Structure 1
Amino acid sequence: MRRVEFMRGCALSMAACLLVAGAGSSAQADPVPEAAEVERLYREASTAVQAHEAARRAVSRARAEVDRLRAAEAAEKVRLEQLRDSMGELARSQYRVGAGSLTTTVRFLTAGSPEQLMRRMSLAGRGGHATASLLTRVRESQARLARDRAASAAVLGALKADLVRQAAARGQIERKLRLAQERLRLAEEARRAARAAARVSGTGWNASAAGAPGPSCGGGGSAEPLGPPPPADRAAAPRWVKPVDPAPLSAGFAQSGGHWKHRHTGQDFAVFDGTEVRAVGAGTVHFIGCGDGFGNQVIVRHPNGYFTQYAHLSVFGVRTGQQVAAGQTIALSGSTGNISGPHLHFEVRVTPQLGSGVDPLPWLREHGVKV
């Protein structure tokens, strides 16, 4: 079975590829142990991806809470300063009108009538009440400010712990995927050696049954600028966009069925050949090349630590290491790789490697993009 047949939709797990590729040649060592080990590593990486996403969501919630507490603290500081200003103004007013005990007594004694005396006593009482009320409010404001600061410090501590967990999960993902890739590399070397031995011994190795190289990518070799240049005013440009516009949805993330032995690793968009493919956010072009089932592909690293992949392309519009802006055209869609029809395959990954993907549509929605 050719690799073009078992990697359709660029969604088959690497372990399943290994298992099927090795099944066609009796001259090779039994590939099942390697396939099982690689599959296990990919499952563990998938679990680590979920842990990473849970930690990321916790970090996002903690940061929002920190922002809320800091805003409350700033508002309470303003309120406290206003109360202190009011206290100072009241004290100055009382000093100007003579609010000392002797002066007040003299004013009471010189009242011309009982009604005037009662009025002066009422005014004095209201002044004392206002002072006491302001003092109470100042104390309450100081207490709220202290509580906000304590809560902010506690949330910051939790945020740091979540960041540590997120980094640990990312490291675990990378280690598992590196191990899986190394297992695949060694198994591929063993298969090549077995095929070479079969040719020498004349056992008639059948390339079509043993995983011959994938289809030619074709095109895409040049990297000419495509579409309009990125906006000069980066501040006015959108931060995140759809990879194609319009963006008709096709096969979704984790979908299974006849096209995939394992599960679909990204989101497909049903677009015609030559559709402009855009970077969903600002970043750096991490990889450009042709990779088996994915055909021509571009991988962009974004400042938030995520990677986005754009596959089955016909023409490249950027080069490795190039800085790109959100919405910048980086390629044209096509039909390269293992594909039944033209479309864009789009992935969001925690690492550059296959196997670290997250569901692209919720991720885009979290970044303000409606698809």
Structure 2
Amino acid sequence: MRSSCRRHSWLVPVLLCACMVLVTQPTAAEGDSRSTEASGASEPGPRVARLHQEAAAVAQQYELVRREGKARRAEAQRLEKLLARERKQMKTLHQDLGRVARARYREGGGLPSTMRLLLADSPDELMRGHRVVWQTDLAVDQKVSRNLRAEARLAADEKRAATEWRKLQRRNAELARTKRAIEKKLEEARWSLQRQADASAAAGACRKATRLDQPDTGSKRGWVAPVERYVLSARFGGGGAHWANGHTGQDFAVPIGTPVRAAGEGRVVQVSCGGAFGIQIVVRHTDRSYTQYAHLAAVAVNPGEQVAPGQWIGQAGTTGNSTGPHLHFEVRNTPELGSGIDPVPWLLKHGVKL
């Protein structure tokens, strides 16, 4: 019996250890999952795209509040001018009343009515004079009351407009601080993305596609410009030291990380890194034309994928033979360099005016 107890006594710590291992294993798995999620969240591409949208939204809100504040300020100034004019009229009116009162006193206006009636040459004339004076006094009283009400109303309106303007000023100051903070984060994320892109382009090996949260492109959208906000720079056919036989596309000057859109429905036929174009994507469209998107910082699609008009397929950068952040956009008759046509009239033919 003692031998049996001894055999079972060593099993207890073993079983306890096994239970502890089973309990701790899911926790470790959860930690790995969180680590993977955190790693994905820290990818510079999606971070830049998200910050890009946040910055655009805050900038739009800032501009709306700024315009509203400007309108409120103008309204407060207008009311202030009207109030000053009303007060000036009241001052003039009081001065006129003072002059009338002094004149009437000098002319005997200070005598009692009975005495003036006895001394009057013509009682009828005196009564008519009384009526005129009474009507005049009534009109003056009405004008004074009207002016006082107008002054009070204008003062209240001016105070309300000034209060609203100050509120908008404070709101705009808050938005300006938020805007600066987002822009600082965005700038850091942009250059982090570009360093990653430069490394890929130098190695000639593209990183895997970084999926982006897609915007609402609309179900009936046909063709679009490859970027939403831009400044047109080098045009098709232009000369320069960077192009042996003229510029082969249309350049859109945009910040690093700007989402690049598929110009129309099609299929991705090429994603490559390295060379003069840096990181690039080529799409074959339903009308058998091809579009190229070059000097990218990141791609969001893989070869063979179907893309919709306006879909974010990559992010602009400055890889390859590039002097600054921009998107090089080409339209070709074949997927290869050398078959390019001017993108501007091609887009116009498809209903897109740059």
Tell me the TM-score normalised to structure 2 length. Answer: 0.44
Larger radius of gyration: 2
Tell me the TM-score normalised to structure 1 length. Answer: 0.42
Higher RCO structure, 1 or 2 (CA under 8 Å, sep 6+): 1
Identify the structure with the greater helix proportion: 2
